[in-house]
Amino acid sequence: MLRSVLLVASVVMITATAALADSKSDCQKGLEMIKAELKKKHPAPVMATLRKALSGAETEVTEEDWPECMDYIKTARAALKQ
């Protein structure tokens, strides 16, 4: 019984770690995308949103809060679609 509980806990931890690794990678790719877009010409409101998203995402990278970093990346992508 104890072995099965430990096995399930191990699988959950491994899955969560893999998901965080994906979020970290996606966040880093998103940061590069925002930086590249900031070098292009966009309307002022879009540029402001991109700068704010970049600042927030960089803060979350420092804190290693990958899901929140991805929220900033999504905000930047949404601004670019307008």
CA separation for the pair 73, 34 (Å, rounded): 8
Residues of the chain under the 70 pLDDT cut: 1-21
Q: Check residue 27 and give its pLDDT.
A: 96
Structure tokens at 81: 């679609």
Strand, helix or coil at 42? coil
- Sequence letter at residue 66: W
In contact, 38 and 76? CB cutoff 8 Å: no
Model confidence pTM above 0.75: no
DSSP assignment, residue 39?
A: T
Q: Check residue 22 and give its pLDDT.
A: 80
- Domain parsing of the chain, residue ranges: 2-81
